[in-house]
Structure 1
C-alpha cells in the first residue's frame, strides 16, 4: 500500500505542474490545490470513507517558479510525526488522504519530504509544523463553500454549474485567477464534475496569479459541469 501511495501522491503533485526541474532556488510562489472529494468518490474511485468529505480538503502545497517549474532545493528534511501531533485532528479534517483516511500519516510524510526542502526556506514556513499549520489555516480562511453560497452556488446532483459564474465567484473573493479541474469520464454524454480548485500563493501566503500553463490530469472544467452534493453513508473512523 505504501509504495502505491507514494506513486499516487507523486503523480498528483505533477498534475498541475510542469515536469522539468530548474537548477536553482528562484521559486517565488506556491500552488495550493484543493479537492472536492464527493466528485471523485462518486465517480469511479474507491474511497474511505466511501462518500468522501462534506468540505473541501487539501491535495498539496507545492513551491514553483514564475514559469511553473518545480525548483530543486538541497535542504534535507526529515518528517517527524511528533512535530505535528497537536495538528492531527485538523489534518484529518482538512488534509486527509481521501482514498484511505487511515493512511493519511503516510500522505503527510510524503508531501513534506517532497515539498518541504523548498517550502521551509521562508519567510513564513520555516519548519515541518509551519508547512502543515499554514496550509490548514489558509484553507479555513478561504472558506470556499461559504464564498460559493454567498453567490448562490451550492452542491447539487441535478443542477449543472456555469463555469464562468463559478470561477467569477471565487476570483471576486480572492482577487486572482482560479483554475477549475474536473473529473475525466469515458461517457461523453455524462457531465464532468468539479474535482479540484487550483490557486497560487506568494511565499508569505498572500494570493497571487498562477503561472501560465498549469494543467494536466484531471482536465480543466468545460463550460458546464456538476458540483455534486455530499451524501453521508458511513461513520468516519479517524484512526491513523
Structure 2
C-alpha cells in the first residue's frame, strides 16, 4: 500500500472512531424528565426579579435526557435550532414554553434548552423539530399539563399550603401511578412548589417512577405541606 493509500486508510479509521464516539455520547441516557415550572415560584426564588408579571401556571422548563446513575448528558453536539423550526412552532411554544424570567428572549431560552438537552435526545428524538413537537404533544394532546391536572383535582393556585400527598396523587392518577419528582424552594420560610417532573423511559413510550427525589437536607426538598 502506498503512502496515499495509507493516509486515506488512517483518515477513514479516524473518522469512523469520531463517529462512533459522537453517537455513543448522544445516547448516554436511560430516561427522560419532562419538567414544568410554576411561574410565580420561579420569580419568587430568582435573585433577579422577573421582567413581566408571572401567570399562575405551570409551563414547560424542558425535556431532559437523564441517567439513573452517573452524570446526565449535556451539549452532545454543536447543532443549533433551525430558524424554520422556530417559525413553524413559535406560536405554540410561546404559550406552553415561555421564558418566564425574560419574555423578550423566548427564542434564546428554547435555543439553550436544545443545545444543552435536545442535542442529547437521539435516538428517541432525532431532530430539533421532533424534539420541540414532542414537548408540544406531551403538554397538550397527551395532557401532561400540571396546572390542568391539579385543577381537576380541585388543587388551586391560591398561595395557600397544600398537602404534598394530594399533589402527588393527582399527578399519579394521570401517569399510571408513577411517582413524579417535585422541587421546592424556601420563600420567606415557607416551602413553595417550584417544579414538577414526569419521568418516562428512554423511548418515551411509558411513564416510570422518577429517580433521585430530593431528600431531606436538600434545598429543593418538599416537606409534607407546600405552598401553591
TM range (shorter): 0.7 to 0.9
Gaps in structure 1 of 5+ consecutive residues: 1-21, 228-240
Q: 1:115 aligns with which of 114, 117, 127?
A: 117
Counterpart secondary structure, 2:195 = strand
Q: Say if 1:173 and 1:31 are closer, same or farther in 2 by CA, change over 3 A.
A: same
Alignment check: 8 A CA contact 2:185 2:219 kept: yes
- Higher relative CO (CA 8 A, sep ≥ 6), structure 1 or 2? 1
1:223 pairs with 2:200: no
Q: C-alpha deviations, 1:120-163, integer Å up to 9, x for none?
A: x233x121011111112112221322322232211113x31011
Where do 1:32-181 residues align within 5 Å? 32-42=34-44, 45-50=48-53, 52-67=54-69, 69-71=71-73, 75-119=77-121, 121-123=122-124, 125-140=125-140, 141-157=143-159, 159-174=160-175, 175-181=177-183
TM-score (norm 1): 0.73
Alignment check: 8 A CA contact 2:73 2:117 kept: no
Q: Say if 1:106 and 1:129 are closer, same or farther in 2 by CA, change over 3 A.
A: same
Separation in structure 2 between the aligned mates of residue 68 and residue 110 of structure 1, nearest angstrom: 22
Counterpart secondary structure, 1:181 = strand
Alignment check: 8 A CA contact 1:73 1:117 kept: yes
TM-score (norm 2): 0.76
* Number of corresponding residues: 199
Q: Say if 1:106 and 1:162 are closer, same or farther in 2 by CA, change over 3 A.
A: same
- Cα deviation, residue 43, structure 1: 5.2
Gaps in structure 2 of 5+ consecutive residues: 1-23
Alignment check: 8 A CA contact 1:40 1:183 kept: no
Q: C-alpha deviations, 1:46-81, integer Å up to 9, x for none?
A: 11322x124211111111123263136854422222
Separation in structure 2 between the aligned mates of residue 208 and residue 147 of structure 1, nearest angstrom: 18
